[in-house]
Amino acid sequence: MSVAARLSLVVSLFTSSILLAVLGLDYLRSVATLDAEIDRSARSMTRASANYLETVLMTVTRSAEALAIALETGRFDDAETRALVRRAIGRSRNVFGGGIYFHAKADQVTNGPRSDHYCHWSGNRVQCMGAAKGVDLWSRDWLRLPAEKGRAVWCEPYFDSDFGRILMVTLSVPFYRHEGEARRLEGVVTADLALDWLTQEVSSLHILETGYGMLLSPNGTFIAHPKEELLFHEDLHSIPEALGVDERSEIAAELMSGAPGVIEGASVFGSAARLYHAQVKPAGWTLVLVVPEDEIDDQVSSLTLTTASVGIAGLILMLLAIVMTARAITRPLCTLVAATREVAIGHFDTQIPDQSRGDEVGLLASAFATMTQELRDYIARLTTTTAAKERIESELRIAHDIQMSILPKLFPPLPDRHEIDLYALIEPAKEVGGDFYDFYAIDDDHFCLVIADVAGKGVPASLFMAVTKTLIKSTAKPGRSPGEILSLVNADLARDNDQSMFITVFCAILDLRSGELIYANAGHNPPIRLCAEGEAERLPSSNQLVLGLMEDVRYRDTEFQLRPGDRLLLYTDGVTEAMNLRDEPFGDQRLESELIQLASENARQISEGIVDSVKAFAGSAPQSDDITIMLLEYQGAEGQAERDSPPA
């Protein structure tokens, strides 16, 4: 065999091996990337769609709960009640309708029945009407279940034959009349969602060619599905083959668990598929994205065929070229292999040589250059995305620092005077929160205390909190009572409040000379007074409406006398509603018990001790709400005199 033949054979063997190794590595990475991209896209699409549905449901929930709170805290005649329903429905086109239904037992206490009201969209306007006559509505699940469970309930899908005559689901929120520590069911607020809207949203969920989405109720009923014959009449138990439940019994439990995830190897109507699922809160629905396995295999097969075709064609052409011009082709191939190795280890800026050649080497170099450019572009996009995420996190940290900086931190608040001692702290549930406290001297003898809790968390709540805090401080002028301050602030907040946000506020003014405390409570937790003798009692609550819902509300003042040595604990519901892993709340009684046990400590030690007790009680359970505490100790004018008198 001639030298040229042996050289051609050796070069051909080595070059072919290198090319196959590069193509094989590229194929393996491409298959892994393809599968990972499909998985990432499916997870993101499922979570994004669930988040969108959650956003709509949370808006409906917040509106219904706000209406229930208004009915609990205020007194309205029939005209005002209907106006409340009309305004609540008119704020959102996602809500088909809603109503207020008064319980018969509540009518007996109020000396006569009150009218039920139902409003719904009819064209471009909201139409209101009374309840259907001769119909036992309280036997329907959407009134019976919230009355029995004592909480908001999303009912199963049903056909509304009374008003809308459409398929819908209903959110029902009970409201109560409070009589001291007891409460009595007064009625239920409802909000209806038309299911044709949900079906359109879920039907728009697609991935690959035949992937589709479906929506399940908490009981496994099909709310949205491409096969219309399954809707509202079938569930996972009656049609187990719809999601492979008949072959794998654990699939139903995993789907209805509420935790997002993916189920592989499921058999949907006899075809293998992956199931991506996520829960839609607060209704407890489950959104499922079905991705057929055979379509994923088709994508991989297509990639395999393409890679194999390119590899075989390149190999044949390269072998022919090597046989004819072994010496000429060896040098650029070695250079190309070296460049490829640099790209494989992450040097994406490596220049791919010989792209201008008109032969197969030039084509191969161009293909690698294209691949390298695409990888470089991908890394750049990933870097940009990471930087944007870090920038958002940095901005949230800055927002947290700004929010904390606007809260007063001078303890005690009046260093030159000693009638009072005070300490306050706040633990946001997120980077920024909706709780705040404030205190300041209005004049030489009057001291203002404020603690508040915005309904919600995050950036919207923090903005609403900042606005409220600024309005209260600018409104608290000498001579104005807490009730006047809250009335003026409420009028400003309720005006143009399209998002129906509201805030609970406790505002008090303390006379430093006499200990007289004048306060107004806008739906906030009543403070706890710890007497000098060690006994704890709650301040009388006037049970008034929260701020931000209605403009024309006048808030009443309540007077209370503090004695020297009395301490007053102001707090938000993040303390009493802190939950442990067993879903048990910290509670009012446990708070009073902790306060009594810490009675011998100073204001700061009591505040920090209560927060430590709440965290110890919650354990590893995530913090669900902001925790805010402010403790005031009234030492009286005698305490100031003792400080001012010279030592004996």
Per-residue pLDDT reduced to its tens digit, 290-340: 888 887 767 667 767 777 777 787 777 777 777 676 565 556 667 777 777
How wide is the angle at C-alpha 437 spanned by C-alphas 433 and 441, nearest 5°?
Answer: 155
At 628, give phi and psi (nearest 5°). Answer: -135, 135
Arithmetic mean of pLDDT, 379-407? 71
pLDDT the model gives residue 93: 80
Q: Which amino acid is at 441?
A: A
Q: pLDDT, tens digit, for every residue of 439-471?
A: 999 998 999 999 999 887 777 888 888 899 999
Q: Which amino acid is at 445?
A: D
- Name which of 639, 569, 637 is nearest 597 in CA terms: 569
Lowest mean pLDDT among 283-297, 338-352, 526-540, 546-560: 338-352
CA distances (Å), origin 524, targets 435, 516, 606? 12, 20, 21
Arithmetic mean of pLDDT, 261-276? 86
pLDDT the model gives residue 361: 67
Report the alpha-carbon distance of residue 213 to residue 290 in Å, rounded: 6
Residues 6+ apart with CB under 8 A from 427: 574, 611, 623, 626, 627, 628
pLDDT the model gives residue 269: 81
Residue 639 has pLDDT above 60, yes or no: no
E-strand ranges in 381-515 read 420-427, 435-441, 446-454, 503-511
**Averaged pLDDT score across all residues of the chain:** 82
Identify the band that residue 480 occupies on the pLDDT scale cut at 50, 70 and 90: very high
Higher pLDDT, 22 or 148: 148
Domains and CATH numbers, the chain: 198-293 (3.30.450.20), 325-395 (1.10.287.130), 406-637 (3.60.40.10)
Q: pLDDT, tens digit, for every residue of 351-375?
A: 766 666 666 667 777 777 777 777 7
pLDDT the model gives residue 648: 41
- Name which of 32, 636, 648 is nearest 300 in CA terms: 32
Spatial contact of 340 and 368, defined as CB atoms under 8 Å apart: yes
3-class secondary structure, 455? coil
Residue 393 has pLDDT above 80, yes or no: no
Residues 6+ apart with CB under 8 A from 346: none
- Percent of the chain past pLDDT 90, that is, above it, reads 24
pLDDT the model gives residue 348: 64
Residue 107 has pLDDT above 70, yes or no: no
Question: How many Å from the N-terminal Cα to the C-terminal Cα in the chain?
Answer: 121
How many other C-beta atoms are found inside a 10 Å radius of the C-beta of residue 392? 10
Q: pLDDT, tens digit, for every residue of 568-619?
A: 999 999 899 899 999 899 999 999 999 999 988 999 999 999 999 999 999 8
Lowest mean pLDDT among 334-348, 401-415, 516-530: 334-348
pLDDT the model gives residue 164: 61
Pairing of strands 117-122, 125-130: antiparallel
pLDDT the model gives residue 202: 83
At 635, give phi and psi (nearest 5°). Answer: -100, -10
Residue 162 has pLDDT above 80, yes or no: no
CA distances (Å), origin 626, targets 5, 175, 457? 81, 24, 8
- Name which of 60, 57, 58 is nearest 91 in CA terms: 60
Identify the band that residue 3 occupies on the pLDDT scale cut at 50, 70 and 90: very low
Backbone CA torsion sign across 545, 547, 550, 552 = positive
Q: pLDDT, tens digit, for every residue of 183-239?
A: 889 999 999 888 777 788 888 887 788 888 888 888 888 888 888 777 777 787 888
pLDDT the model gives residue 377: 76
CA distances (Å), origin 11, targets 14, 336, 365? 5, 14, 18
Residue 109 has pLDDT above 60, yes or no: no
Burial class (CB in 10 A: 0-12, 13-18, 19+), 75: exposed
pLDDT the model gives residue 611: 93
User: Which two tokens mark 340?
Assistant: 């490829």
Residues 6+ apart with CB under 8 A from 370: none
Q: pLDDT, tens digit, for every residue of 499-522?
A: 888 999 999 999 999 999 999 999
Lowest mean pLDDT among 166-170, 371-375, 524-528: 371-375
Element (H, E) at 128: strand 125-130
